[in-house]
Structure 1
């Protein structure tokens, strides 16, 4: 297999993606609701594929291979990220009977905190999605550039992004769901073949590989809860943050495309199992590569593997990464365009009537504009810069948004000043953590404790306000 053959296979892969998009046009999008959430007639398997393809980002294979060689703590870390957020959303979606008619997570937040919470949640997701999509475009470029040298990586990356833009703009949720099924098929099939071929490349039976790993200190069971400096609190906080960081509009949106909360609950449960299997398979590939190159440092093992891999192996790696990255990009672009057109622009008084009349056009225009912005960021800013921005975002998102969202799903109804008190408490807790707690335990994993402070502040303020109102009514003189 030559490099030109890889270019041909890439063309076939993209043409099949477009063919699946054309198949989705048998049910045309005639209004904004159909564009946003489809016709709410998706099968559970289709929704599972959409959730899984969105949840498995383009960097997942590389990170799993690197983390697989670093020890049991990092293996548990990868599995936890894949499984726990989807299990938590499976539980929450079973309580979302009142919100199945919503089109976005910010709209659900408006139930608790009116336009303020809706706008705050929307702005958080727009900011995060732009950075994530920019990083995924960089992943696509960095994947094709070393493997397909007969064509310009810039041209190929732009072409892939344009294809995503075309079917996301005109096909909406239905086109994205069907292409995600195709990407999941490619991902899972090639990953199984890749695992088998890497095992054959090692030249060792599985039993010998297991004995080899047992002899390594980082794979001893006691390292499961301890980090580099044996700080158990640090490890516990990191594990507690896993289920929370991924609860954002891009995953919650899959609840709204379901026909019922029961279907959503099953879809997230099955997606959690499927994503865990995919992650374990990638980790096994990493362990096989580690046994193949036992003297290579973990941070260098990915590049070392690619430099010694055959062209067929490189091709499989390329299409696995492209499948994950494209699925993440199309879903995030779709959801961020809905949030801009439906939650942000409609909240502006002098634009409300125009946006309502041309909702579908406004959403598609927002999708086009965000795509151009992400391309510009991807080709003009380094990965390190974008990752730093994303890390700063993650530090504030969970403590500010997640507690009110969980409370509203579980049935809390309160006033928006109470919600703003909770959000402000969560935000201030992050600064307090960084100033006083970080110097003691040396970790920024403040998601869970700061989110807890947010939730407790909302509950206490709601209780005190309710008690005050009851006392005021009981003390009112009878007329």
Structure 2
């Protein structure tokens, strides 16, 4: 029972995912339809697709596991930060009236600043998405390890093949429908798991509150909540760095929307449901902490599994698979679009050799999936994936965010202006990490570098009087 039932649940989930993906495949002759669809998706569908692609399996595993070692500041801001990201993008989306006909963020940058900034944006975005995809594949492997001790790599490879099939052949339509199915799965299981952990505590709410009041990390004074450090610069930079999470696969939802108005609503609604999801995840970890306050982080998931019925072990695994797969397929698709459309599409020799961009995108999906799977399953390399993702995220944000936001706000300039800004941003990030971070504390210089990028672009544009691209 402990082996066969969870394995059967996994197999049924994967088969249903494959069937849904295959039956929603459409024959695409136009690359735009393959990339972003016909822009007639309902608002509800786009909200679900956004949440499914944003919430990867790592969010559930990480936030439940690291709860005991976190101060209340970091715990409570997990609740707010994702909503702030969506609200920021909602504000930007409402101002993209002249840009929503594009297919990707690199195209928006390219239309405003030229070919080379577009290719640089695409390259950094591709590296970011590949590492993120490798982490999701590793989460798939961890989820399978929860249920079975053998054939982990076999089922991980099989799962990757399944998401490759419907992503390659079906494009954005197949991804959207499978994301809806996967969202229903994990959005149903997470609240049930939350309720089970609450029942397992076996204490009334008043006793729970009294217990938390005795814990130093849960002091609820305003100073501890918003400025828990002696150095007030740290939380301020942390709040401002939220803007650095404007990443390409999330922005694809804007380009899939029928209008800026719909895109704005999608991210507003997503901000609300994001709070619901992260609340459930934080409550799971909170209830585990209340029941076992001295439990080491590495033992938390073993305790969660031991506290649920045997059949639910398979459902937890399926929940993690659904979260990881719905994130992985969007990363695969977005990276393939950037390779075939923004990178190779700007190379004349490639265009002469292969004018079929859909074929190029499908080949790119296959190659990216293989590379990400090798990174995820190669033990010596995976240990560095998380630090790699943090580094690439900073580099991507420093290069892309400032030019993109300025473009959305109506700023128009030349290739040289954009390249000067990108270079300044990278140099600022290097200087911050090399000489400044140890003086102000362990915080990221991402926002400072983004600001330096923007200031450099504006200064270069107005001092040199460069004419914008037409």
| Category of TM-score, reference length = shorter chain | over 0.9
CA distance in 2, matches of 1:152, 1:226: 48
Distance 1:53 1:230 in 2: 38
Question: How far is 1:41 from its partner?
Answer: 1.1
Give the conservation status (yes or no) of the 8 Å contact 1:400–1:454: yes
1:66 paired residue number:
65
2:361 to 356, 363, 374: 363
Aligned to 2:224: 223
Larger Rg: 1
C-alpha deviation, 1:303, in angstroms? 4.3
CA 299–235 in structure 1, closer or farther in 2 if over 3 Å, else same: farther
TM-score using structure 1 length: 0.92
Distance 2:454 2:344 in 1: 29
Partner of 1:142: 142
Query: How far, CA to CA, are the matches of 1:318 and 1:226 in structure 2?
Result: 37
Aligned 8 A contact 1:68 1:74 in 2: no
Compared CA separation, residues 211 and 28, structure 1 to 2 (3 A): farther
**Per-residue deviation, 1:299:** 5.7
* Unmatched segments (≥5 aa) in structure 2: none
How far does the alpha carbon of each residue in 1:223-280 deviate from its partner, in whole angstroms, 9 at most, with x for none?
Answer: 22345x64321122112212x2320211111111111111111111111211121001
Q: Distance in 1 between matches of 2:66 and 2:87?
A: 23
Q: Structure 1 residues 37 and 373 mapped into 2: Cα distance closer, same or farther (>3 Å)? A: same
What does residue 116 of structure 2 align with? 116
Q: Which residue of 1 aligns with 2:410?
A: 411
Q: 3-state SS of the aligned residue for 2:257?
A: coil
Please report the RMSD computed on the Cα atoms of aligned residues, expressed in angstroms: 1.8
Q: Does the Cα contact within 8 Å between 1:67 and 1:75 map onto a contact in 2? A: no
Q: Distance in 2 between matches of 1:316 and 1:220?
A: 35
Q: After superposition, where does 1:53-132 map in structure 2 within 5 Å?
A: 53-69=52-68, 70-132=70-132
Q: Distance in 2 between matches of 1:233 and 1:380?
A: 39
Deviations along 1:52-78, whole A, 9 cap, x unmatched?
Answer: 011101111122223444342122231
Distance 1:88 1:336 in 2: 23
Q: Which runs of 5+ in 1 are unaligned?
A: 470-479
Given that 1:191 and 1:320 are in contact with CA atoms closer than 8 Å, whether structure 2 keeps it comes out as yes
* Counterpart-to-counterpart distance in 2, 1:125 and 1:187: 27
Contact 1:106 1:119 in 2 (8 A): yes
Q: Distance in 2 between matches of 1:248 and 1:364?
A: 22
* CA–CA separation in structure 1 for the residues paired with 2:416 and 2:76: 40
Partner SS for 1:369: helix
Secondary structure class of the residue paired with 2:103: coil
**Conserved? CA contact 2:97–2:259, under 8 Å:** yes
Moved more, 133-142 or 393-402: 393-402
- The alpha-carbon deviation at position 317 of structure 1 amounts to 2.4
Give a deviation string over 1:86-116, Cα, whole Å, max 9, x none: 1111111111111121111100001222011
Counterpart for residue 455 of structure 1: 454
